[in-house]
Amino acid sequence: MCNAAHFVEHAVCNNASTGAAVAPVIVTDPRLDALCARVVKYYSLRRFVRETGRPAEEWPQQHEEGMFHYSSGMQAVVAAAGVCDRVSVFGFGKDPSARHHYHTLQRRELDLHDYEAEYEFYRDLESRPEAIPFLRDSGFRLPPVAFYR
Give the model's pLDDT for residue 106.
58
In a domain, 7, yes or no: no
In a domain, 10, yes or no: no
Q: Is the pLDDT of residue 73 over 90?
A: no
Residues of the domain holding 53: 30-148
In a domain, 102, yes or no: yes
In a domain, 4, yes or no: no
In a domain, 62, yes or no: yes
Mean pLDDT of the 14-29 span? 65
In a domain, 70, yes or no: yes
| Contacts of 74 by beta carbon, 8 Å cutoff, 6+ apart | 36, 39, 40, 118, 121
| Contacts of 35 by beta carbon, 8 Å cutoff, 6+ apart | 78, 134
In a domain, 114, yes or no: yes
pLDDT tens, position by position, 78-114: 999 999 999 999 976 666 676 655 556 655 555 668 8
Mean pLDDT of the 34-45 span? 92
Rounded to two decimals, the pTM is 0.75
Exposed e or buried b per residue across 65-76, where buried means at least 16 C-beta atoms within 10 angstroms of its C-beta? eeebbbbeebbe
How many structural domains is the chain composed of?
Answer: 1
In a domain, 16, yes or no: no
Is 37 within 8 Å of 24 (Cβ atoms)?
no
